[in-house]
């Protein structure tokens, strides 16, 4: 599974809503009755639609469908607005290209809490306690999220979170560095495999090794979790992944989340390569993976990696955007205001960046250069994407949203 191009509305046609979003997390405003749909060069179809449109809770659902039949997987982030790595990783996962099946992503499930930077919304509701077992979810937002998930009837559901403490068998002390799983044996085995794989390949400190744990029993705390309802009422393999949020760089936490999801999806969505940007620094010492014959894949990443060797071990580039005025992705701008976007902070750890590609709205990456100027000529939210390419043709993509005042 590899990140690829995004599917977004054009800058001029987005005219409703003025939600304020941060750099790296795109937000799209659209019509819930008409989804955005686009087939990209990889052959997958991408569409998006909005739930809770016209409210402060407005958020976008992204759906990627491969040509080949396969299972359906759901990834959710941003249930709690102060768990930044979860919703940042979910936003990037929404842009991955899959080889089979359907990927549904809700990166910013709790838009109000994300804007506030708090665990709960402005009424004190904990969104991840609203999914009542055996009944209707408690809030309108939870009801609409559940309607999306139940309509797609997923085989796999992954919810991304963060904790200020490390899990050691007692959730009261913290649940970080853990993958919690549903009761079916397939989920138990997959969680254990993902925890072991990510620890071996991404975690330097043994104190931060990932553990696994079962969901709480029905009727016991914590109760009302989305993944509990998905497992028990839809029969999905369900997982809740938690990373430690304290004293760990955001980029590392996002990588952990991305690698967990990638590993969990390897079998279910017939994904035979790690997502770009989640590959470990050193090749994994995983005999079971090495013994498997590589699947045929005509994707550009495999074709350009050749026989492996030195280039296969290279770290991908990292895309970064700075703005003038500063932090423009976190401001409400005036219609007609021009913002300069600067990609010079992007890096290529094992090479050099050879190309900067930009996309404004839903068009192709048709602007190039280290900097571009974007004029926000209409009210609403306007997504911009930057894709950087290094001298080994490896890429990374990041987005931000420019919001004009209503």
Fill in the DSSP letter of residue 48: E
Q: Which residue matches tokens 């085989």?
A: 155
Q: How confident is the model at residue 83 (pLDDT cuts 50, 70, 90)?
A: very high
The CATH 3.40.630.10 domain(s) of the chain lie at 31-312
Gap between the Cα atoms of 305 and 117, Å rounded: 40
Gap between the Cα atoms of 313 and 52, Å rounded: 44
Residue 208 has a pLDDT of 96
Q: How confident is the model at residue 293 (pLDDT cuts 50, 70, 90)?
A: very low
Q: How confident is the model at residue 326 (pLDDT cuts 50, 70, 90)?
A: confident
Out of 19-23, 36-40, 243-247, give the one with best mean pLDDT: 243-247
Residue 284 has a pLDDT of 40
pLDDT tens profile 393-406: 788 888 888 888 75
Gap between the Cα atoms of 267 and 282, Å rounded: 22
Structure tokens at 281: 């620094």
Given a cut of 70, whether residue 292 has pLDDT beyond it is no
Q: Which residue matches tokens 């085995």?
A: 189
Q: Which residue matches tokens 């993976």?
A: 289
Q: How confident is the model at residue 378 (pLDDT cuts 50, 70, 90)?
A: confident
Q: How confident is the model at residue 24 (pLDDT cuts 50, 70, 90)?
A: very low
Cβ atoms within 10 Å, residue 123: 7
For the segment(s) 322-404, the CATH number from 2.60.40.10, 2.60.40.420, 3.40.50.620, 3.40.50.360 is 2.60.40.10
pLDDT tens profile 234-267: 999 999 999 999 999 999 999 999 999 999 998 6
Average pLDDT score, the chain: 79
The CATH 2.60.40.10 domain(s) of the chain lie at 322-404
The strand pairing partners of 86, in sequence order, are: none
Q: Which residue matches tokens 């390949």?
A: 201
Q: How confident is the model at residue 315 (pLDDT cuts 50, 70, 90)?
A: confident
Decide if 140 contacts 100 (C-beta within 8 A): no
Residue 248 has a pLDDT of 92
Q: Against a cut of 0.75, is the pTM above it? A: no
Structure tokens at 26: 């795109």
Fill in the DSSP letter of residue 166: B
Gap between the Cα atoms of 93 and 156, Å rounded: 15
Fill in the DSSP letter of residue 176: B
Neighbouring residues of 168: CB distance < 8 A, sequence distance ≥ 6: 174, 211
Say which range, 24-33, 82-91, 182-191, 381-390, has the weakest mean pLDDT: 24-33
Given a cut of 80, whether residue 277 has pLDDT beyond it is no
Gap between the Cα atoms of 279 and 257, Å rounded: 12
Residue 349 has a pLDDT of 87
Minimal CA–CA distance to 133: which of 225, 238, 221, 222? 225
Residue 270 has a pLDDT of 46
Structural fold of domain 31-312: Aminopeptidase (3.40.630)
Residue 385 has a pLDDT of 86
Residue 110 has a pLDDT of 96
Residue 21 has a pLDDT of 29
Minimal CA–CA distance to 194: which of 250, 264, 132? 264
Residue 395 has a pLDDT of 82
Decide if 193 contacts 99 (C-beta within 8 A): no
Minimal CA–CA distance to 270: which of 71, 63, 125, 22? 71
Residue 224 has a pLDDT of 94
pLDDT tens profile 4-20: 322 221 222 222 223 22
Counting every residue, how long is the chain? 406
Minimal CA–CA distance to 103: which of 75, 77, 79? 75
Say which range, 5-9, 157-161, 182-186, 350-354, has the weakest mean pLDDT: 5-9
Fill in the DSSP letter of residue 224: S
Percent of the chain with pLDDT over 90: 52
Neighbouring residues of 395: CB distance < 8 A, sequence distance ≥ 6: 3, 276, 316, 317, 387, 388, 389
Residue 42 has a pLDDT of 63
> Three-class SS of residue 362?
coil
Fill in the DSSP letter of residue 172: G
Given a cut of 90, whether residue 298 has pLDDT beyond it is no
Higher-confidence residue: 343 or 332?
Answer: 343
């Amino acid at each position: 599974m590899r990140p690829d191009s995004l599917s977004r509305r054009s800058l001029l046609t987005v005219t409703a809503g003025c939600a304020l979003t941060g750099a790296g997390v795109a937000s799209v405003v659209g019509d819930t009755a008409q989804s955005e749909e686009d087939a990209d060069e990889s052959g997958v179809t991408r569409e998006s639609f909005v739930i809770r449109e016209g409210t402060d809770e407005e958020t976008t659902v992204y759906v990627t469908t491969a040509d080949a039949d396969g299972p359906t997987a759901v990834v959710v982030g941003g249930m709690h607005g102060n768990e930044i790595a979860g919703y940042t990783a979910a936003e990037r996962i929404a842009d991955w290209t899959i080889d089979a099946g359907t990927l549904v992503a809700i990166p910013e499930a709790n838009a109000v809490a994300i804007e506030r930077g708090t665990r709960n919304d402005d009424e004190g509701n904990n969104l991840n306690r609203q999914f009542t077992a055996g009944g209707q979810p408690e809030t309108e937002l939870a009801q609409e999220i559940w309607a999306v998930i139940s309509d797609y009837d997923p085989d796999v559901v992954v919810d991304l979170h963060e904790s200020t403490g490390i899990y050691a068998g007692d959730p009261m002390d913290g649940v970080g560095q853990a993958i919690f799983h549903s009761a079916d044996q397939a989920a138990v085995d997959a969680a254990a495999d993902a925890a072991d794989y990510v620890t071996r390949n991404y975690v330097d400190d043994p104190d931060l090794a990932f553990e696994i744990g079962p969901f709480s029993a029905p009727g016991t705390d914590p109760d009302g979790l989305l993944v509990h309802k998905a497992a028990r009422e839809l029969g999905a393999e369900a997982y809740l992944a938690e990373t430690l949020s304290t004293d760990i760089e955001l980029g590392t936490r996002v990588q952990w989340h991305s690698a967990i999801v990638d590993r969990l999806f390897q079998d279910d969505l017939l994904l035979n390569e790690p997502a770009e940007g989640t590959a470990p620094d050193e090749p994994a010492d995983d005999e079971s993976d090495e013994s498997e014959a590589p699947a045929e894949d005509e994707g550009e990443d495999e074709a350009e990696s050749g026989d492996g060797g030195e280039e296969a071990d290279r770290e991908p580039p990292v895309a970064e955007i700075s703005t003038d005025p500063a932090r423009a992705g976190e401001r409400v701008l005036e219609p007609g205001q021009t913002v300069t976007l600067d990609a010079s902070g992007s890096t290529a750890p094992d090479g050099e960046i050879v190309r900067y590609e930009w996309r404004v709205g839903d068009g192709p990456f048709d602007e190039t250069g280290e900097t571009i100027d974007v004029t926000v000529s209409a009210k609403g939210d306007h997504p911009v994407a930057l894709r950087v390419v290094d001298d080994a043709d490896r890429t990374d993509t990041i987005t931000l949203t420019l919001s004009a005042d209503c």
